[in-house]
Structure 1
Amino acid sequence: MSHWTLDDIPWDAFDPSRVDPELTRIIKAAALTERNSGHYSKYLCNVFRDDPEFCAKAETWAEEEVRHGDALGRWAELADPDFDFEDAFGRFVNGYVIPTEVEASIRGSRSGEMVARCIVETGTSSFYSALRDAVDEPVLKEICRRIAGDEFRHYKLFYSTLKRYLDRENISRRRRFLVAVSRMQESEDDELAFAYHCANTPDRPYDRAASSRAYAARAFRHYRSGHIDRGSAMVLKAAGLAPHGRLGRLFAGALWRYLRFRLRRLDGEIPTANDTGARSAAA
């Protein structure tokens, strides 16, 4: 697993002239969800309560997720001195509660749970890889590089656990694919929308649809086809399908077209420089 700490980040290299104020909005939201991800370890250890080896690794995973949130939160406070990370996180956890008191996976099996976790790590590794390649501010670029590397390793952890449990449960490829697609659809659920609201518009009533659109418009624009290609291969692998060849190309192409379609639908969600007095993030 990862061995870096906040002290390894070159904070002195922070360059405020390279901060994109619209990208800062999604970093604030990501900081909240990353730190809160650590709570999922309790859920996972309930589901895998008789697997101490995995639970120990899940606890380490949780510690790293919390570190990701702390790094992003600290950067966001540098980028926007009016942002209070702890205050925003308090609002978020008070309004978004992760159900951890369970005895079985909501995915129907432990293998299904690991497929879902692989999909989550695919999304985060792709997201931070896209940001790493897009941002100009050197400290944020380094943070995203480190987080992306962690998320790829987390995928490997959950995928290796998936293979171990498939030997016992042997769920079908169809079932694995359905779990994968279901978890991908959940990526636009209330969590990110509420995090965006708590981090950026806490003085307004919460509007899930508006917050979801605002987040997506700022996040989706940073993806390039290479990020989608790698992510689609990871999804298919977790689903038990061939990640390369014709199927891989079709799936990656469909994801890329969907992303471009969503961006066209979201056109106008990001204010221009004339609207805000800030540099246009859509330029």
Structure 2
Amino acid sequence: MPAHEAALWEAEDLDFRRIVLGDVHEDENLFYLISCASFIESGSDLYTHNLIDFFRGDTEVADWLRDRWEPEELKHGRALRAYVQHVWPEFAWQPAFDAFLHEYATYCKVELLAPTRALELAARCVVETGTATYYSALAHSTNEPLLHELAERIAADEVSHYKNFYRFFKRYRAQEAPGRARVLATVGRRTLELKSEDADCAIRHVARSHAPERAGDSAYLQQISARMNATIRRNLRPGTTLKMLMRPLALPPTLQAIVQWPVEQFMQRVFLR
């Protein structure tokens, strides 16, 4: 197995009998963290198909997206859904997900991709950094052993995905020579979008099923989002996150020393706010 590939696993490998239900069932914040993630991961085929079209003609990238990345993202969705349905069987996952997917599909448009392949791959590095950070923080936030294991497995997959996107990015950077300023602009813009309508959409649709009487209460939805963000903020490792985000810039040591502090301040505003 190449060094940049994570260990293979399947959702069916997980033993849900290990869950101590009393430790997690009453944790509403955990319910939203896992349920929202399960929705977004389960809808990943929407934007995967856009990416495959975007890289049409590049067999290496398109084949990897179709044969490795999409199946693993959907696997994450199946595993998270199974966890939700085991711990919170009263939650009507499928109808809520169907409603989410109907809205989410409007956010997954080809025209929202970056203007060039190199820049889109830089943007994908940012997205994979965000997801790896999310699941690593989720793993560190819980003592429930199966959730800890599941979140660590997904985080490892996301780091592997990052390494592949970065490998492809280096190839296209050599071909397209986008310039460090354009890469920085793409990384910065995509970083600001990490906490965007995807998560808000998932929260809304989970709440409509889980707490329909409060689904229209914007203050309640904001409180949910704030609690979720606080959990990730308390448990993330900012040093690793910042290194992953800065890597596509390929800064020489002297320049990196100059720009590292302002870049870190910007990134921390996003990830640590």
Counterparts of 1:132 and 1:246, CA distance in 2: 34
Query: 2:18: which partner in 1?
Result: 13
Distance change >3 Å, CA 212–CA 172, structure 1 → 2: farther
Query: 2:45: which partner in 1?
Result: 38
Cα deviation 1:69-102 (Å, max 9, x = unaligned): 1111111122212112222211111122156674
Query: 1:251: which partner in 2?
Result: 263
Counterparts of 2:231 and 2:42, CA distance in 1: 24
The amino acid of 1:74's aligned partner reads: A
What CA RMSD, in Å, does the superposition of the two structures yield over aligned residues?
A: 2.5
The amino acid of 1:15's aligned partner reads: V
Query: 2:61: which partner in 1?
Result: 54
**Are residues 1:215 and 2:225 paired?**
yes
**Are residues 1:111 and 2:118 paired?**
yes
1:31 partner SS: helix
Distance change >3 Å, CA 94–CA 232, structure 1 → 2: same
- With normalisation by structure 1, the TM-score equals 0.83
Query: 1:233: which partner in 2?
Result: 243
CA contact (8 A) 1:27 1:72 kept: yes
Counterparts of 1:13 and 1:209, CA distance in 2: 36
5+ residue gaps in structure 2?
Answer: none
Q: Residues 131-170 of structure 1: matches in 2 within 5 Å?
A: 131-170=138-177
Q: Residues 169-184 of structure 1: matches in 2 within 5 Å?
A: 169-184=176-191
The amino acid of 1:112's aligned partner reads: L
Counterparts of 1:120 and 1:133, CA distance in 2: 20
CA contact (8 A) 1:125 1:152 kept: yes
CA contact (8 A) 1:42 1:100 kept: no
Which residue, 52, 64, 75 being the options, matches 1:67?
A: 75
The amino acid of 2:199's aligned partner reads: L
Counterparts of 2:216 and 2:64, CA distance in 1: 36
Instruction: Count residues with an aligned counterpart.
Output: 260
Distance change >3 Å, CA 101–CA 92, structure 1 → 2: closer
Indicate the structure with greater helix content. 2
Distance change >3 Å, CA 213–CA 113, structure 1 → 2: farther
**Are residues 1:93 and 2:105 paired?**
no
Counterparts of 1:53 and 1:194, CA distance in 2: 33
- Residue identity over aligned pairs, in percent, reads 29
Larger mean CA deviation between 200-209 and 107-116 belongs to 200-209
5+ residue gaps in structure 1?
Answer: 263-283
The amino acid of 1:232's aligned partner reads: L
Distance change >3 Å, CA 17–CA 121, structure 1 → 2: same
2:171 partner SS: helix
Residue 8 of structure 1, CA deviation: 1.3
Larger mean CA deviation between 247-256 and 169-178 belongs to 247-256
Counterparts of 2:180 and 2:218, CA distance in 1: 34
Query: 1:26: which partner in 2?
Result: 33
The amino acid of 2:161's aligned partner reads: H
Query: 2:129: which partner in 1?
Result: 122
